[in-house]
A and B are shown apart, each in its own frame.
Chain A
Amino acid sequence: MTATMTDTPPPAAPKADTEGTRSGRPLGQILMIVAGALLLVAAVRVITGSDQLTSEGQVSAALGLAVPIGLAGLAGLWSERSGVVNIGLEGMMILGTFGAGWIGWQSNPWLGLLCGIGFGVLGGLVHAVATITFGVDHIVSGVAVNLLALGITQYLAKIFFSEGDAADAGGNPKQSPPVDSLPNIDVPGLSDALKSLENHHWFLISDLAGILGGLVTDLSVVTLFAVLLFVGSWWLLWRTPFGLRLRSCGENPVAAESLGVNVYKYKYAAVAVSGGLAGLAGAFLALVTSHTYLENQTGGRGYIGLAAMIFGNWRPGGLAMGAGLFGYSDALQLRNGGETVHALLLVLVVLLALLGGWKLYRKAHWQGGISLFVGALVLLWYLFTDEVPNDFVGATPYVVTLLVLSLSAQRLRMPKADGMRYRKGQGK
């Protein structure tokens, strides 16, 4: 959002061919990074004996906690790729939890899921009307949507859940009656085999087994659906004409308009889908993790999803990593708290040392020095304590996000017309 002063195209100097890197990093590089991270974590696990770092339960919990964040982030991605900033995700999620709980307990969870998505879409449409039709500032409208969604659901919950049948079935003003569970999927045999491998605590192999096991054991259908949505969104947005048009609205809507793209339509579609995905994120919370609507159930996950999206550079892959990071650290603190996070400090030390070395190598002395210094401090912390205070463990994801963003924010590239007002026929 900061202004670069000149907007004229750069001198047409011949430049190294960078075609390979234009859609993020090449696959090989990504695999290298993933492999490196895995090795590092496996090593730390063996050194510290914190088997929880890569246990099946840990990974499975991380996945469960990451799904709503990831879906919220994906919702943000759709909206922002079309040029509409959506800080109303939280509100749309709340609508999703309510819709899912409300219809879910009266009929069945599948209809609840649909209704959650539908309520989310409604929230998205409110945001779309305000920002696209009326040209209200996107953030302002998002804040209003959040307020409104909270108000309406609290009001309706009071009316729908605290009297009559609902109350008899276990509802109250803050909670819907319970909803039946959606089915879980388990790959028979595979899970057990992986589990036994994991229990050997072999270097790397057990880690891999734990991670894979976590990913295939007791998987909710909605989680599977969410994964498909990620892949599907990537395909739709980056591989189809529809996606190209949608993204062009976020990059340069006037140009899109000049080529016959109905920008309003695409923005509306994107924000509605965004609302639906946020609604699904809410429905996931209500149906999969709690089996009931609960007031304040979303607990700021809409905002976290937004952070994960920015973290992921407005791309599904990066976003999935961001959401995974949040889910993982959240799961860590819930399942083991201090001790495991303490082990993670060692990972942080290694990363900071690597970063510092790299920066020094690139002659960025200041940054390198600071990284090494912080790394040394963390190392001292690691050596002189046995666990991280529990109160801080909860803050791990936030601190990590802040750290990562401050190291990488300058490499991020948001859609160029993101958050800008667009009026048809007013382009220059």
Chain B
Amino acid sequence: MKKLTPRIDKERLLLGIAAPLLAIVAALVVTALVILATGKNPGAAFSDMVTYGSASDSQVYILNKATTYYLAGVSVAIGFRMNLFNIGVDGQYRIAAFFAAVLGGALTVPGWIAIPLIILCAMATGALWAAIAGVLKVTRGVSEVISTIMLNSIATAVIAYLLQPGKLAELQAGGTVISTTPLPKSSYFFQIDTGAAGVLWGFIVIAVLVGVAYWFVLGRTRFGFDLRTVGQSESAAAASGVSVKKMIATSMVISGAVAGLIGMPTLLNDSHQFSNDFPSGIGFTGIAIALLGRNNPVGIALGALLWGFLERTTNHLEFEGYDKEILGVIQGVIVLCVVIAYELVRRYGLKRQQQRVGAELAAQAAATQKQEVA
């Protein structure tokens, strides 16, 4: 995002890579120890993860999962950039996907009208749900951490109330699954059939667009600058002419709108309906991924892919006789290591910079003194 003078560029780049590298190495070591402690061979496990994870169908799986995770990560990151902790992404995307599915099931218009409508509906619902927390924060001073936790549970209740036969849902054949009316075929999002490797969801295109927009708006526009300003220092932002309250509400709404998209790949490319087993908890995954990617659009993408890779390959570990519960350990260790590593690297970088500033100034002072003497 920042254009850098080449000299500093290199060092920053090195520092930037150092943190995740450090974290992943640490996580590998811890994981290996844990596997060793259960009397199994970590080497074989890792090699299985690599070979299985690089298979073509695994790649498709990983990309599909990463599409969803990426959107979740970006949604959370928008809040993070503002120092807002939007735990409510989870509720926002679920309620958004629900209403979008209801709308999609009811629409009978051609796909090129229906799909944008469904997506807009999802974004609007997510934004509205997030706006509750935003408004409460700016008008009543309610911490968004608490209000979004509450709103998550309330969203669950609202969905439970409406997702019932006779209300906005119907009972599927077999009598065990309740879902909204399935979308008509015309409202399916395009997808790429890769043959044996499976089907790649077309929504990945939207995810990429969201990433580009995130990068562009934040880094290149006045609005993005204002948003980042508030995130770095509310007091400086207010003094610089940003309306902090308006900004908090706005970014909460935007975060919610992006959260609304999280359920869309699943809805439009996969399940085509909202049922009682619609994936939940992705909002929390998004938090981990945003942390991992350091709120950077490319970083989040890498985090999302890593998460997909881990899920895919640890699933298969069970097949090889390992305990797939190792996944949770790896994920937890990675996130913890990453945040610590970033902090260490950040501190080191700051120190380096201050040293350099000091050295530079000393050099300048020496130079001027010499001139005076001469």
Chain A residues with CB under 8 Å of chain B are 1-3, 5, 87, 126, 130, 134-137, 139-141, 143-145, 147-152, 154-155, 157-159, 173, 300, 303-304, 306-307, 310, 389, 391-392, 394-395, 398-399, 401-402, 405-407, 409-410, 412
Contacts and interface: CB of A to CB of B under 8 A. Distances in A.
B362 interface: no
B333 A148 contact: yes
Nearest to A162: B323
A410 B141 contact: yes
23 contacts: A3-B238, A3-B244, A87-B145, A137-B339, A141-B339, A143-B288, A144-B332, A145-B336, A151-B328, A151-B332, A155-B328, A157-B325, A304-B149, A306-B145, A306-B146, A391-B160, A398-B151, A401-B150, A402-B150, A402-B151, A405-B140, A405-B147, A409-B142
B317 to A, nearest CB: 12
Contact of A158 (B142, B323, B333, B335): B323
Contacts, number: 143
B206 interface: no
Interface stretch (B207-215, B272-280, B340-348): B340-348
Contacts of B160: 391, 394
Contacts of A3: 234-235, 238, 244
Contact of B146 (A136, A310, A410): A310
Nearest to A395: B157
Interface string B299-335: 0000000000000000000000001011111111101
B154 interface: yes
A208 to B, nearest CB: 31
- What bracket does the count of chain B residues touching chain A fall in? 35 or more
A295 to B, nearest CB: 10
A150 B332 contact: yes
Contact of A135 (B142, B147, B343): B343
A291 B203 CA distance: 46
A389 B161 contact: yes
Given A149-B332, A391-B160, A307 B150 contact: yes
Contact of A130 (B149, B340, B347): B340
A394 B157 contact: yes
A24 to B, nearest CB: 19
B38 interface: yes
Nearest to A403: B150
Given A130-B339, A395-B157, A307 B332 contact: no
Contacts of A145: 336
A259 B161 CA distance: 57
Nearest to B133: A402
A402 B147 contact: yes
A154 B141 CA distance: 38
Nearest to A145: B336
A139 B335 CA distance: 12
B44 interface: no
B118 interface: no
A151 B147 contact: no
B199 interface: no
A395 B265 CA distance: 29
A419 to B, nearest CB: 10
Contact of A391 (B157, B238, B340): B157
Contacts of B340: 130, 134, 136
Given A2-B234, A143-B287, A155-B326, A399 B154 contact: yes
